[in-house]
Amino acid sequence: MTNLSDPFGKSQLSDTLRELPVSFGDNVRIVESPLTKELGISGLTGQVYGETTPSVSGVEVIGELQSDAAVNVYIEELEKDYWLTPSLVELIDHAPGTTISIGDKELIRTEDGEWKEIE
């Protein structure tokens, strides 16, 4: 059974991932840095599609890791996703109104980033 107060299992994540400034579904902007400018993604916006611990998952991460955490950002205009260090993304909003389905439950995102069951 899905815990609707924690639909993505954040309570089971490592402290590093649990403390990320952004989470699944958030709208973010890519921070300007020499690397993001070189890749042509500086200032672009996207949506967080996932979070990981690079030492376990082995993903290639853009930016200098300051902790063992990375976020996956999908940039729609490029039709591409990137694994970035948390320091290279800034929160725009929690994408209020976004809906997802988990099993037979449908959830909607609120302005404060919570997921509430649609009844």
> Is 103 domain-assigned?
no
> Is 119 domain-assigned?
no
pLDDT of amino acid 18: 57
pLDDT of amino acid 11: 47
pLDDT at 17 over 80: no
Range of the domain at 19: 10-93
> Is 4 domain-assigned?
no
Give pTM, 2 decimals. 0.81
Q: Which long-range CB contacts under 8 A does 31-37 form with residues at least 24 apart?
A: 31/87, 31/88, 31/89, 31/90, 33/63, 33/88, 35/62, 35/63, 35/88, 36/62, 36/88
> Is 110 domain-assigned?
no
> Is 118 domain-assigned?
no
pLDDT at 4 over 70: no
CATH of the domain at 29: 2.30.30
The two structure tokens encoding residue 4: 């609707």
| pLDDT tens digits for range 19-71 | 688 999 999 999 999 999 999 999 999 999 999 999 999 999 999 999 999 99
> Is 56 domain-assigned?
yes
Please tell me the total count of domains within the chain.
1
Alpha-carbon distance values, 34 to 20, 42, 63, 74, 114 (Å): 23, 9, 10, 20, 34
